[in-house]
Amino acid sequence: MTEPTPPQEEAKPKHTNRLAKEASPYLHQHQHNPVDWYPWGEEAFKKARDEQKPILLSIGYSTCHWCHVMERESFEDEATAAVMNAHFVNIKLDREERPDVDKIYMTFVQATTGSGGWPLNVWLTPDLKPFFGGTYFPPESKFGKPSFTDVLNQIADAWKTQRTEILNSANDISQRIGESIAKKAKADIQLDPAWLDKAVSQFKTQYDPRFGGFGDAPKFPRPSLPLMLLRHAHRTGDQDAINMVLHTCDRMAAGGMNDQIGGGFARYSVDEKWLVPHFEKMLYDNAQLLHLYLDAHLVSGAQRHADVARDILRYILRDMRHEGGGFYSAEDADSEGKEGKFYCWTEAELKALLTPEEFALAKRRYGLTAHGNFEDHSDPDPLKGQNVLSIVDPKLSDNEAGLLESATKKMFAVRAERVRPHLDDKVLSSWNGLMLGATARAAVILNEPEYLKAAEANLAFLQRELWDAESKTLYHRWRDGQRDDVQLLDAYAFLLDGVLHLYEATLEPSHLQFAIDLAATMKAKFYDEANGGFWQSVHTPNLIMKVKEDYDGAVPSGNSVAVLSLLRLGKITDQEEYTNIAEKTLLLFSDNMINGPSAVPYLLQALDFLVHEPRRAVITGDPKSTGARGLIAAAHAVYQPNKVVLGVAGPVEEFAKTLPEEKVSAVYLCTGSACQPPTSSALKLQEMMASKTLP
């Protein structure tokens, strides 16, 4: 009789560095690298100053595919790590926690190389000024790129032999970058509605009539652009532009970028067809896309757009929610070290899983082939025959609808048993603000009380874990019971946006008061009284320059979201201060609105709100009553982006406070100083909201 084999102890990692003590999931991924990593902070800066060593700052995020590739190839390699440790002070930074730091050094790399992205690798002087940088470097010379080790050795040699030239160059380029991104107001500029028409004309030239979207591959959804185009097109009656947005929504929803089994969208498509994504899923993308599909539903009246919105929230509430109500940040592209493995299927897998009838339908609908449509070319040993599911044939008979539901349930159940991609479970107040607002809108537009409960729980979580009520301070990141001490504009602006949407869905006075508190601290901490605009973060000695961000990329800029939120808050409260701050900020960024509108589509939405007087739906009575709930729903049931919805209690405009307390709720629809006669009819309110002009 043999002795049972004792359980093997898990092998202890050979290396553990300082990142083991950090909260960021991204930094944790690198805690066992042989690289002597430091987190961003004074310990690393002091070492660089004391030893007069250059800093290698490596920036990424935990669900970044190419960050994983470079870690596997270089940062886990003992020989490469030895070179890094010998010549540099090595710092790892999570760009999602510190977008302010990332912005400074990304601007440098874009200015000096013509492109950017993550991983971002930048070499700095001991006083944190950049002098060389790039994105992904291969372990061996290829694609016209030098090997990472060659770059390390060349920079180390240059630091020894050409240090004076490097320091002078770093000082010069840092000064020029600082001047370019610290914007100052121009005199004699007037806000002009014609900028909107010019911008929309440019957007339309970027449209892909075949596959939808704006621009070429790789295609990012970037919802702020179609949201702006839809807003302008609806107001002007431009059916051609409306069709561009709806076609884009349909093609994205049918593509592999949309998780056809589990719901939710990946970050972008590598091709023009929206077919093959980089499979990571980001909270901020899904929040903005939820807004877009809600708007598409209101404009088109089509159930398919509402279904996509519901699928997004099905995913978020199932897979991306902390039990306390916060929303997690992202899910990885990779599982078991293979990109897309969780999401893709081979033809043989599905043939074995499904009945012959189900398989025939799945093969036709999703375009399954034995060869597959995806192979990870960054993987030295890629999986073969992988199919990304996309809707190739949307036609379904009544009988096939049931067959598809049966097949999908089986596929979802089997997929749920696979090893899931890594979850970045930090909770960011900024991205949570975006999802909070989208969830609140979905609750009232789609009449789903579950969504409203989720929105309320989310706000309660953020107020409990990331808000200091005494000092009226909002922090940015929470994870495992710990919050950071970082102060970012995005946190205040994005949460302000979300809280206003929740207020307009509930008319709860405490939500409006919280919005006012957020706006007050946002102004005090970040607003530039002299020139307008908001600084991206509270300036500290380890930031080499102050930045005002206005680029509406995958995530809209803090300035853009702040401006539109303040304009909305100004209309709800009739406080001119909010409107004046917003106008001054729009003037500051007028150059981009005039000459580079594609960079600022969200900011243009704010300009549109300002120059076209919004409608104010003032609803009397108890907002929890059946009558008031019906009127709130009616106010949101029509596509009318230039509107605010408010109650009569709390810190609202003076007119609302003067309205009589009535047993039956009524609504006063106003523009400027003129109001329509009150009505208690939800149908009448919808008609007035839909009207192009009010009498």
What dihedral do alpha carbons 290, 292, 293, 294 form, nearest 10°?
80
Last residue of a domain, one of 166, 181, 196: 181
- Cα(292)–Cα(148) distance, integer angstroms: 41
CB 361 within 8 A of CB 277: no
222: left (phi over 0), alpha (psi -120 to 50) or beta: left
> What are the structure tokens assigned to 649, written together?
């209690």
Average pLDDT for residues 476-490, to the nearest whole number?
96
Q: Tell me if 38 is assigned to some domain.
A: yes
Average pLDDT for residues 506-521, to the nearest whole number?
98
pLDDT interval class at 661 (50, 70, 90): confident
Q: Say what the pLDDT of residue 5 is.
A: 47
Residue 329: pLDDT over 80: yes
Express each pLDDT in 309-322 by its tens digit.
Answer: 999 999 999 999 99
Question: How many domains, in total, are found in the chain?
Answer: 3
Last residue of a domain, one of 395, 417, 439: 417
Q: How many CA atoms lie within 13 A of 212 on its CB side?
A: 24
> What are the structure tokens assigned to 76, written together?
């886990």
Average pLDDT for residues 176-182, to the nearest whole number?
79
Q: Is 125 helix (H, G, I), strand (E, B) or coil?
A: coil
List the CATH number of the domain containing 122.
3.40.30.10
Whats the size of the chain, residue-wise? 695
Q: Tell me if 258 is assigned to some domain.
A: no
Express each pLDDT in 333-350 by its tens digit.
Answer: 999 999 999 999 999 999
pLDDT interval class at 1 (50, 70, 90): very low
Q: Tell me if 386 is assigned to some domain.
A: yes
- DSSP state letter for 31: T
Q: Say what the pLDDT of residue 124 is.
A: 98
Say how far residue 195 (Cα) sits from the centre of its chain: 26
Average pLDDT for residues 376-380, to the nearest whole number?
84
Helix 283-300 crosses helix 429-445 at what angle (to 10 degrees)? 20
Q: Which domain holds residue 655?
A: 616-690
Q: Tell me if 349 is assigned to some domain.
A: yes
Last residue of a domain, one of 162, 181, 200: 181
Q: Is 615 helix (H, G, I), strand (E, B) or coil?
A: strand
Q: Tell me if 239 is assigned to some domain.
A: no
Q: Tell me if 647 is assigned to some domain.
A: yes
Contacts of 506 (CB under 8 A, 6+ apart): 440, 452, 456, 623, 632
Express each pLDDT in 202-245 by its tens digit.
Answer: 999 999 999 999 999 999 999 999 999 999 999 999 999 999 99
- Cα(59)–Cα(48) distance, integer angstroms: 18
Q: Say what the pLDDT of residue 2 is.
A: 42
Q: Which residue has the tokens 């809600």?
A: 294
Q: What percent of the chain has pLDDT over 90?
A: 89
Q: Tell me if 227 is assigned to some domain.
A: no
Closest CA to 536 of 580, 486, 495, 582: 486
- Cα(669)–Cα(291) distance, integer angstroms: 24
Other Cβ atoms less than 10 A from the Cβ of 474: the count is 25
List the CATH number of the domain containing 674.
3.40.30
Average pLDDT for residues 651-661, to the nearest whole number?
91
Q: Say what the pLDDT of residue 11 is.
A: 61
Q: Say what the pLDDT of residue 13 is.
A: 80
Express each pLDDT in 7-22 by its tens digit.
Answer: 445 567 889 999 999 9
Q: What is the mean pLDDT of the chain?
A: 94
Q: Tell me if 276 is assigned to some domain.
A: no
Q: Say what the pLDDT of residue 10 is.
A: 55
Say how far residue 666 (Cα) sits from the centre of its chain: 37
H helices of 162-262, in order, are 163-181, 194-205, 224-236, 239-254
Average pLDDT for residues 151-158, to the nearest whole number?
97
Q: Say what the pLDDT of residue 454 is.
A: 98
Checking 477-484 for CB contacts under 8 A at 24+ apart, the result is: 477/23, 477/24, 477/97, 477/426, 477/427, 477/428, 477/429, 478/326, 478/426, 478/427, 478/429, 479/23, 479/24, 479/25, 479/425, 479/426, 479/427, 480/23, 482/23, 484/23, 484/97
**Cα separation values, 234 from 296, 309, 438, 693, Å:** 11, 20, 20, 13
Average pLDDT for residues 100-118, to the nearest whole number?
92
